[in-house]
Structure 1
Amino acid sequence: MTDLRIGLHALGIGTGANRDVIDAVARRAERRGFATLWSGEHVVMVDEQASRYPYAADGKIAVPADADWLDPTVTLSFAAAATSTIRLATGVCLLPEHNPVIMAKQLASLDHLSGGRLTAGVGIGWSREEFDALGIPFERRGARTARYAEAMRTLWRDDPATYSSEFVSFDAIRVRPAPSRGSIPIVVGGNSDNALRRVADWGDGWYGFNLDDVDAVAERMHRITEMCASAGRSADELAVAVALRSPSVADIEPLAALGVTELVIVDAPPADAGEAVEWVDGLAAEWIR
């Protein structure tokens, strides 16, 4: 038997943006033993996308520009209200697009109300068009993300909190409530070497998205291990969640052997809440052992 968990990335987009479906999927996923509900983010989508989407061979995101795409903290708040034990995760929040003081407040509020069930998955973003629309520099977004994460951890740890960096500074402020466990785990999304370096340098874990297969996960895990060693830490302390392009049940054991802690199933629920319950049951019958 393996202790690898199964997560579900299905809420917040398209049919998964409907209130009744969110309630139905969240409740049924909890009852059927899924470990985590994941919800991703784009603030802005555009019809003509020049930026390359890094998680598809053709460089194009599969989600239509006119699809509904909810804010993940709002989506997960509704999921939290419908459940009591299943974990919740942003997968991922595009951290450099947000004011980190406000984001720290939003995440801590969700964690507080959910009873400490939140994991903050963060990424640096890939769409220059999105950053342009928000008036945020696309360049140096990796450095901005690192400092924002550092600032949020300071706000969650210290009361009052003081922090100063190139990108954000504050002095003797209180941002309450504090997270239920004193902090919120921050896992870093992305499959590139630069993303894995962020995992090793300051992440609590890694969310690898839309990887080709187990061999691709193994190669990336090897790189994380090397980078963690260079950073003076052990890769064993990281939480590792991955989503594969075409996962199968046969992947569970080899992924667990690699040190993966959660396999995330990415799919879209039916638009009807009743059918969504049956859909979760079907996934559970296939994946939950």
Structure 2
Amino acid sequence: MRVGLHALGIGDGARPEVIRAVAMAAEVHGFARLWCGEHVVLVDAPASRYPYSLDGRIAVPADADWLDPMLALSFAAAVTSRIELATGILLLPEHNPIMVAKQAATLDVLSAGRFSLGVGVGWSAEEFAALGVPFAGRGRRTEEYLAAMRTLWSEDPASFTGEFTRFDAIRVNPKPVRGGRLPVVIGGNSDAALRRAVMLADGWYGFNVPAADVPARISVLADECARHGRALDELTVAVALSDGTPEHVPALGAAGVTELVVVSAAPPTPRAAATWVTDLARTWIPRAQ
């Protein structure tokens, strides 16, 4: 089992000197992938329920620095050469799919093929309203945007006609480095997210999942694979635990997890950040291997 690190882009983890220290130390000490999440907008008192905590509230303060994940990962790519990079996750229906296709392919080129695009449908109605995007239908919008983006990545010129986006004989370059395809991961813990991962993507990212719930979630994923003619081992299965300890690692591997993602907040200085990454690696990676 691989071990990833979800620690960049928020609070102290938004400081360039800390990003540099975390990324370089994570590569040296054997982390497989750096994950970076997204919110364009936060509000002080949201009515929308956050789906990844028991109390329905996001732990990040509304006034915290939160970097654009594509830009943050581009910075991390520039100071590393081997470690993989992934958005975990980018809220795809909030964006123009042509722009996201361009940005994702650009990051893939700049990182020499180390980038995976993790996407989800979003949960904050307030965020969608601020951006002028309908909250209703965001699942259908996500699915269509992915189809349009794959067309842009693989065809030149490219044409597409859908409910939410259309273009005719356009050229969007560069292309991803792996033969016109870029790995896509679907984030979210719901049955709908698992179904989209099987139908549309190369992997699933479960976030803040209780360790006891992981086998049941992967069972749903396996059922969806059987329903849609896919094998479970075709998918990467990345999971960040809400209550994880190293003692959970053997059971996670037995359940089918291929990447355990450690989620933590980086300390404020480069030296402390490097030591912190070293300690995390010593705690988690030997158990996973």
Instruction: State the TM bucket, normalised to the shorter chain.
Output: over 0.9
Gaps of 5+ in 1: none
Counterpart Cα distance in 2 of 1:112 and 1:160: 19
In the other structure, the counterpart of 1:31 is 28
2:128 maps to 1:128: no
Query: Post-superposition, which runs of at least 4 consecutive aligned residues in structure 1 deviate over 3 A?
Result: none
Corresponding residue SS for 2:118: strand
2:176 maps to 1:212: no
Give percent identity, aligned residues only. Answer: 60
2:247 maps to 1:228: no
What code does the residue aligned with 1:207 have? Y
Corresponding residue SS for 1:283: helix
In the other structure, the counterpart of 1:191 is 189
What code does the residue aligned with 1:71 have? D
Counterpart Cα distance in 2 of 1:114 and 1:227: 32
How big is each residue's C-alpha offset from its partner over 1:191-213, in whole Å with a ceiling of 9 and x where there is no partner? Answer: 01111111121121100000011
Counterpart Cα distance in 2 of 1:166 and 1:8: 36
**Superposition deviation, residue 259 in structure 1:** 1.7
Corresponding residue SS for 2:127: helix
Counterpart Cα distance in 1 of 2:65 and 2:264: 15
Give the 5 Å matches for 1:74-223. Answer: 74-181=71-178, 182-213=180-211, 215-223=212-220
Question: What is the aligned-residue RMSD (CA, Å)?
Answer: 0.7
Structure 1 residues 256-265 or 132-141, which shifts more?
256-265
2:263 maps to 1:266: yes
In the other structure, the counterpart of 2:63 is 66
In the other structure, the counterpart of 2:243 is 246
What code does the residue aligned with 2:25 have? R
What code does the residue aligned with 1:110 have? L
Counterpart Cα distance in 2 of 1:56 and 1:249: 21
TM-score normalised to the size of structure 1?
0.97
Corresponding residue SS for 2:89: strand
**Superposition deviation, residue 230 in structure 1:** 1.2
In the other structure, the counterpart of 2:41 is 44
How big is each residue's C-alpha offset from its partner over 1:261-283, in whole Å with a ceiling of 9 and x where there is no partner? Answer: 10000000111111101111111
Corresponding residue SS for 2:217: helix
In the other structure, the counterpart of 2:53 is 56
Structure 1 residues 20-29 or 178-187, which shifts more?
178-187
Counterpart Cα distance in 2 of 1:282 and 1:264: 15
How big is each residue's C-alpha offset from its partner over 1:71-110, in whole Å with a ceiling of 9 and x where there is no partner? Answer: 0000000000010000000000000000000000000000
Q: How many pairs are equivalent?
A: 285
What code does the residue aligned with 2:75 have? F
**Superposition deviation, residue 165 in structure 1:** 0.6
Counterpart Cα distance in 2 of 1:112 and 1:246: 36
**Superposition deviation, residue 120 in structure 1:** 0.5
TM-score normalised to the size of structure 2?
0.97
Gaps of 5+ in 2: none
**Superposition deviation, residue 180 in structure 1:** 0.9
What code does the residue aligned with 2:132 have? G
**Superposition deviation, residue 249 in structure 1:** 1.4
What code does the residue aligned with 1:102 have? M
Counterpart Cα distance in 2 of 1:222 and 1:148: 27
**Superposition deviation, residue 246 in structure 1:** 2.0
Counterpart Cα distance in 1 of 2:67 and 2:256: 32
Counterpart Cα distance in 2 of 1:97 and 1:201: 21
